[in-house]
Amino acid sequence: MIPRGAALRVVGDVHGDAHGFAAAVATDRFVVQLGDLTDGGPEPAATLTAMFALLDAGRGLFLLGNHDLKLARALAGRNVRTDTGLHATLAQLDPRLRARAVAEIARAPAWLRHGDAFFVHAAFHTAMLDRPPPPFGSRAEGLLARALFGETTGRTQPDGFPERSLRWVDRIPPGLTVYCGHDRRSTDGRPLTLRGAGGGAAVFLDTGAGKGGHLAWIDLPAGPAR
């Protein structure tokens, strides 16, 4: 899915920040967007349109995020919460864009390895190295739940959302770097890199786009493995 030898630009959660996303994709690099294209920011329709233009040009892809899945479920008529920005997203989508969103979200991978880089929306598990993502429509459990929602502790935070652990970072194999979003872990507005006890690393690229922060991305060099 990623052209061999391509230089990459890895883009964090967009959440409807179309202005930031336009800046991020103004590149000749192949764009890997880590999921959560909509909900939160003012221009989800423009964000989707820009992402689909990248797909049409063969210049990028996006991973399945929990908000992307929620959008697809809502468009399919499923009963989902709309108080996390989804209501505003749905109001902006015309029938053509709704149909395109359903089709593209169904094709988005939940995780993807490319050489020594591993891309996933929320969190990694070593079993992902040996198994392809499940087909779209699978129950969000097991590895898929880890990819979309992270490693939860079973406790609830004061904001009402599940508490998530970073223990999985210590289980990243040596030489592998996991690029993910979902959790806003940075404290200085820049992507946060954590080194794990197992020798691998995780780079967190959600810096709050569409939710009071800004959009972040990181460039990876071209190489034979990428």
**Euclidean distance between CA atoms 154 and 182, whole angstroms:** 18
pLDDT of residue 223: 67
215 or 224: whose pLDDT is higher? 215
Domain interval for residue 214: 8-220
Query: Is residue 2 included in any domain, yes or no?
Result: no
Instruction: Specify the number of domains making up the chain.
Output: 1
**Euclidean distance between CA atoms 187 and 80, whole angstroms:** 31
Query: Is residue 206 included in any domain, yes or no?
Result: yes
Pairing mode, strands 60-62 and 30-33: parallel
Domain CATH code at residue 173: 3.60.21.10
pLDDT of residue 217: 97
**Quick check: 75 pLDDT over 90?**
yes
pLDDT of residue 82: 74
**Quick check: 154 pLDDT over 80?**
no
**Quick check: 81 pLDDT over 60?**
yes
Mean pLDDT over 26-53 rounds to 96
Mean pLDDT over 15-28 rounds to 97
Query: Is residue 171 included in any domain, yes or no?
Result: yes
54 or 164: whose pLDDT is higher? 54
Query: Is residue 148 included in any domain, yes or no?
Result: yes
pLDDT tens string 111-134: 999 999 999 999 999 999 999 999
CA angle 61, 65, 68 (to 5 degrees): 85
Evaluated on CA atoms 182, 61, 133, 82, the torsion sign reads: positive
Q: In Å, how far are 1, 74, 98, 105, 189 from 114, measured between CA atoms? A: 9, 31, 30, 20, 26
Query: Is residue 79 included in any domain, yes or no?
Result: yes
Query: Is residue 3 included in any domain, yes or no?
Result: no
Evaluated on CA atoms 186, 191, 193, 194, the torsion sign reads: positive
Instruction: Show the 3-state SS of 109-166.
Output: CCEEEECCEEEECCCCCHHHHCCCCCCCCCCCCHHHHHHHHCEEEEEECCCCCEEEEC
pLDDT of residue 226: 42
End-to-end CA distance of the chain: 11
Query: Is residue 102 included in any domain, yes or no?
Result: yes
Rounded to 5 degrees, what are φ and ψ at 204? -100, 120
Nearest Cα neighbor of 28 from 224, 225, 207, 219 is 219
> How high does pLDDT run on average in the chain?
93
Name the pLDDT band for 225 (thresholds 50, 70, 90).
very low
To the nearest whole percent, how much of the chain has pLDDT over 90? 80
Query: Is residue 39 included in any domain, yes or no?
Result: yes
pLDDT of residue 166: 93
